[in-house]
Amino acid sequence: MKCPNCDGQLKEERFQDMIINRCDKCSGSWLNYPQLDQLEDKVWSDDELKGTLEFNPVNSTLNCPVCNTLMVRFNYRYSDLMLDTCPNMHGFWLDKGEEIRVEELMKGDEAAYERKIHVENQWDRHLSFLQSTTFMDKVKNFLNL
């Protein structure tokens, strides 16, 4: 396949434990949907919690290397990372190094989610304490009620 970004050729290459198509000139990579999902799942495998994949789509300047259709550029999972995707669902174009950025964003999103759950649990315990009989008795005694 021809690279959508330059005049290079996409060659199969091992990236971590999967085979992807990488450009022999610009080092960008073409991932199909299962490959992008596999890349994300190395960090965070709960798809229901990951959120929206494509946000704020606009026309791209690149054509799909599979069907030659003009691709769509979007913010990846509400981040500042811009990826290109084929509207016919053939795959995603990632510029050089963006595979690592996807993993970093997944790590950050997972950590933020875990922090959110922790904070919500603390708040729930705090509210339960405030509603407890013991606490209300202390307030009544303080106010001489």
Q: Where are the domains of the chain?
A: 10-142
**Range of weakest confidence among 86-95, 121-130, 135-144:** 121-130
Q: Is the pTM of this model over 0.75?
A: no
For the chain, state the CA radius of gyration.
23
pLDDT at 90 over 90: yes
More confidently predicted of 96 and 56: 96
Residue 122 CA to residue 128 CA, distance in Å, equals 10
pLDDT of residue 116: 62
Distance CA 145, CA 43 (A): 55
Q: Which two tokens stand for residue 86?
A: 């084929």
